[in-house]
A = this chain, B = another copy of it.
Amino acid sequence: MGAKPLLSTCLSPALIPLYDLSNTIVVVIDIFRATSTICTALDNGAKAVIPVATVEECLRLEKEKPEFITAGERDGKVIDGLQGGNSPLEYSPEVIKGKVLALTTTNGTKLLHLVKAADEIVIGSFLNLDVLCQYLVNSGKDILLACAGWRDKENLEDTLFAGAIIHKIEGHFQSTCDSSFMALSLYRQSLEAPSLLDFMKSGSHYHRLARFHLEQDMAYCCSINKHPIVPVYKAPFLLPQEVSSLSEMENF
């Protein structure tokens, strides 16, 4: 039996250049709210999500592709001229089924564009935790958990989600990465809180978004396994991994 694949964690987009992305699946993590919104939209029937790096490009798509739903935020606020924001609650099946969502966000979509050299890019959130973990274990590849953070600083909710993944899959990987250890330690601390959402309230981003009355969004983003799909990046689209291939995977 060969050596186990590596599991590493990058807590800030600014540190991505320190990691070798070859033969690696990068999990993009932006819990509040980009990756939670992507999982929701795709599970609710969106044909695809296009992660767009800049507001300008998203505004251009709004003009040129009237069939798209264009959406985005900067600093937690909806952008004028786009149809939607970055709330998972906006993308019910009635709204999104059969549509393409072009989405630009402060941290998450920017990070996705930073890791394009990866062998594969997938999207992680509490909404797809277990199915994502299955996917990673079955891949046989090295894994980098890439946290979007907040303006290049580490943040609580993304680190915590990295810890939740590590907690589930660490036995299948080797890790010599202190940031993985610290994320796992944080996750273990969170298990002592009354709830995941309650623990999140210690984070700066929770309070930033609460000022915009987005508490319902954040509660939604803390729902575990509500949207059991794995969004996979096939440039320029994020597409839901076929359910058939997921169901064929061994349990872990």
Contacts and interface: CB of A to CB of B under 8 A. Distances in A.
Residues of A in contact with B, size category: 20 to 34
Interface string A214-236: 00000000000000000000000
A189 interface: yes
A205 interface: yes
A182 to B, nearest CB: 6
Max chain B Cβ within 10 angstroms of own Cβ: one of A15, A151, A185: A185
B11 A11 contact: yes
Interface stretch (A94-102, A106-114, A134-142, A173-181): A173-181
A185 to B, nearest CB: 5
A159 B178 CA distance: 10
B182 A154 contact: yes
A21 to B, nearest CB: 15
Max chain B Cβ within 10 angstroms of own Cβ: one of A154, A156, A189: A154
A103 B203 CA distance: 38
A3 interface: no
A11 B155 CA distance: 12
Contacts of A14: 14-15, 18
Interface string A1-21: 000000000011011001000
A152 interface: yes
A12 B178 CA distance: 12
B15 A152 contact: yes
A54 to B, nearest CB: 21
A177 B207 CA distance: 11
Interface in A104-122: none
Max chain B Cβ within 10 angstroms of own Cβ: one of A155, A176, A182, A203: A182
A188 interface: yes
A153 B15 contact: yes
20 contacts: A11-B11, A12-B12, A12-B15, A14-B14, A15-B152, A15-B153, A18-B152, A150-B178, A153-B178, A153-B179, A154-B154, A154-B179, A154-B182, A159-B178, A177-B204, A178-B203, A178-B204, A182-B182, A182-B186, A186-B186
